[in-house]
Amino acid sequence: MVEQLTVSLPALKGRSVVSMMEWTPEEIKQILNTAQWMKGNRETVQSRRVLAGKHVALLFELPSTRTRVSFQVAISMLGAESVSLDWGSSQLGRGESLEDTARVLSRYVDGIVVRAHRHETVQALRRHATVPVFNALTDRAHPFQILADAMTIREELGGWSGIKVSYLGDGNNMAHSYMVIGAKLGMDITIATPIEYQPLPQIVEWARGEASLTGGSITITDNPERALFGADVVTTDVFVSMGDEGDLDRKRHLMQGFQINRNFMKLAKPQAIFLHCLPAHRGEEVTAEVIDGPQSKVFDQAENRLWVQMAGLSHTLG
């Protein structure tokens, strides 16, 4: 049975969410169970107002649609208020240090949601803040997105153990996040990327060690066809991420063979689902017939961002 909102692990109170690497499988499942319960009990959740009187700052260095809106709605539904800051028009844009910003915001708000180019930025804010810090995307991790993906996988396929997830494309924050959540929940994760764009070796090594404890596995390859064979979940991300630098034309050229299309989907299991964290570039990393087809669950996946963020906020700030 999915656990109700009132059932919580005491260790979650006051916790930051910077990477799922720092969370145990039991803690991750607690968040996911609460998110599922909240999704089925929206009116009850709103009536409880478990975060009434609290304030959460939203600090964004990068553009956002889903993350900004879903966090604002999540905060409101829990009875709290959001304070939205634009990086460039705040004092950070004029050179104020992350340390001073973290200390000051901690005097005003109960939590800080941050979207930043570099993972080190969120880590620095967490070190100097005295309130929980929530990673809304960095170049290394996208924790709430991957929680939403895990929630969607369980909704569609019934669980996580033994599920094969095949990710094609850039070895970016989503590739890292799939390895982390897969290792924590016992999934078999295959990452297929061009050799030049494989995920960070230290995260691969860490994930393989963690997967050995949960019955999962981590496979890295440059062969997309081999990666897709027998997959339960097929997923990708944009080929060029926010903040990418370098020869982007060359990158797109190397990525062409990793586009998810109808023929590639045929290599997966017949009941396989397609996921994409969005925004998507139809005709680049995925064809329109796949992302808009019957196997695509991308909008259910996008909705689940709201519920996992509500669950995370309620457990850590409540």
Q: Where are the domains of the chain?
A: 10-141+304-317, 145-301
| Catalytic choice (237, 259, 301, 315) | 237
**Does 199 sit behind a cis peptide bond, omega within 30 degrees of 0 on the bond before it?**
no
Catalytic annotation on 115? yes
Catalytic annotation on 110? no
Give me the mean pLDDT over the 142-169 stretch. Answer: 98
The four Cα atoms 286, 292, 296, 299 give a dihedral, to 10 degrees, of 110
| Amino acid in position 287 | T
Q: CA–CA distance from 257 to each of 52, 170, 226, 261 (Å)?
A: 50, 12, 13, 10
Quick one: CATH architecture of 145-301? 3-Layer(aba) Sandwich (3.40)
| Catalytic choice (66, 115, 126, 176) | 115
Would you tell me which CATH number, out of the four given (3.40.50.12780, 3.40.50.200, 2.70.98.60, 3.40.50.1370), belongs to the domain 10-141+304-317? 3.40.50.1370
| Catalytic choice (30, 140, 277, 301) | 277
Q: What pLDDT score was predicted for residue 9?
A: 62
Residue 8: pLDDT band by 50, 70, 90 thresholds?
Answer: low
10-141+304-317 and 145-301 in the same fold: yes
Q: What pLDDT score was predicted for residue 110?
A: 98
Percent of the chain with pLDDT over 70: 97
Percent of the chain with pLDDT over 90: 89
Residue 172: pLDDT band by 50, 70, 90 thresholds?
Answer: very high
Mean residue pLDDT of the chain comes to 94
| More confident call, 244 vs 196 | 196
Runs of H (alpha helix) within the chain: 25-40, 42-48, 66-77, 98-108, 119-128, 143-157, 173-185, 201-214, 224-228, 248-255, 262-265, 288-291, 298-317
| Catalytic choice (188, 305, 309, 315) | 305
Residue 88: pLDDT band by 50, 70, 90 thresholds?
Answer: confident
6 pLDDT above the threshold of 90: no
Catalytic annotation on 305? yes
41 pLDDT above the threshold of 70: yes
Catalytic annotation on 119? no
| Catalytic choice (142, 176, 276, 315) | 142
Give me the mean pLDDT over the 95-112 stretch. Answer: 95
